[in-house]
């Protein structure tokens, strides 16, 4: 993989990381809002909060994957499968730039 490709993926990863961090801030702010005094509204808010919490957990998991990918970029191992040590296809990296594994090992 050439330097330009790695820089392109790094930019995508950093942009996504920024987006996720902004979204997590919004989720935290939504979860911190006081509960409605109306019991029916509280039930709906509780369901909404559960969805927001799941989105937050998914966002945190993706952030971990992105940070690991950025570390692989720094180490010069980005684009190499962490399992079989073979190159990860460009198609797979275009779809999942944070992936640590090739299609066969995923």
Which pLDDT band holds residue 97 (cuts at 50, 70, 90)?
very high
For the chain, what is the domain count? Answer: 1
Evaluate whether residue 39 is within a structural domain: yes
Say what the pTM is: 0.85
Tokens of 69: 């990918």
Evaluate whether residue 17 is within a structural domain: yes
Evaluate whether residue 83 is within a structural domain: no
SS3 state of residue 105: coil
| Residue positions counted in the chain | 106
Rounded Cα distance between 5 and 74, Å, is 14
DSSP 8-state assignment for residue 82: T
Evaluate whether residue 60 is within a structural domain: yes
Evaluate whether residue 30 is within a structural domain: yes
Rounded Cα distance between 82 and 44, Å, is 43
Q: pLDDT tens digits, residue range 11-51?
A: 999 999 999 999 999 999 988 888 777 777 777 888 888 99
Give the list of residues 6+ apart from residue 53 with CB closer than 8 angstroms, or none. 27, 31
| Enclosing domain of residue 25 | 3-78
């Amino acid at each position: 993989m050439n330097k330009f490709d790695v820089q392109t993926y790094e930019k995508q990863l950093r942009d996504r990381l920024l987006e996720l961090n902004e979204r997590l801030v919004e989720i935290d702010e939504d979860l911190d809002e006081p509960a409605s005094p109306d019991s029916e509204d509280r039930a709906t808010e509780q369901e909404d909060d559960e969805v927001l919490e799941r989105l937050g957990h998914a966002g945190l998991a993706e952030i971990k994957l992105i940070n690991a990918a950025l570390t692989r970029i720094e180490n010069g191992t980005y684009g190499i499968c962490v399992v079989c040590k073979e190159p990860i296809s460009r198609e797979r990296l275009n779809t999942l730039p944070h992936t640590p594994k090739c299609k066969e090992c995923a």
